[in-house]
Amino acid sequence: MQLKLVPGNSAGTVTAYYLSSKGSNWDEIDFEFLGNLSGDPYILHTNVFSQGKGNREQQFYLWFDPTADFHTYSILWNPNRIVFSVDGSPIREFKNAESIGVPFPKDQPMRIHSSLWNADDWATRGGLVKTDWSNAPFTASYRNFKADACVVSSGKSSCSGSSNPAWLSEELDNTKQERLRWAQKNYMIYNYCSDSKRFPQGFPPECKSA
C-alpha cells in the first residue's frame, strides 16, 4: 500500500494499515503511524499478534517526511517469517519460532484493514499531547493497493497463479539483510526485546533467537 500521512499537527492521531483475523484468539500484523506536533517526526509502530497475544512492538523513525509524498509500506507474510518493509527496504523481520514454543500466525486467514483514529490517550508522548481538533479534518491518503495472496473460500485456500508462489518461501537475501541492519541501527527507537524494565523476569523466548 502507498500512504501519505496526515500533515501538520497530527498529534493524537493514528493512521493504521494492518492485517487481522477474527475472534478472541486473533492474529494481527500492524503498521501504525503515530502522529506528532508539527516539525516532530512521525513514529512508525509495528506489532505482531498471534493467538490474541501481542506486546511485540518495535518502533522506528522514518528517513523521509511521510506527509510530503506517497511511500510504499509492505508486509511479507509466509509460514516462516513476517517482514515489514518501507519503500522496498526491510525494517523488521519476525521469524517463526514455534520450535521454542512461540505461537506464529499461520493458521487463520486475515483481512486487510485501514483506519485513521483518535488515540490521544497514548499515541503522542504517551498521551501527554492531545489531539487539537481545531486542525480537523485530519486526512491520510491511501493508493495503489496490491496483494499477491492465497485466498480462503469455503474453508479452502487457493493461491493466485500458482499452488506454490515464490513469496511463500521468500527470505531476505544478503542485500536486504544489510538494509534491515541499517534501518534497525539508525532508525529503530524502541524494541521490546531490549526493554528490561518491561520484562524483569527475562525477555520473551523469540528475542533470544532474533
Give the residue among 105, 64, 109 at the shortest CA–CA distance from 87. 64
Does residue 84 sit in helix, strand or coil? strand
Give the residue among 7, 70, 16 at the shortest CA–CA distance from 39. 7
Across-strand partners of 93?
Answer: 83
H or E stretch covering 201: none
Q: What is the CA radius of gyration of the chain?
A: 18
| Under 8 Å between Cβ of 57 and 46 | yes
Which residues are the active-site residues?
Answer: 28, 32
Does residue 168 sit in helix, strand or coil? helix
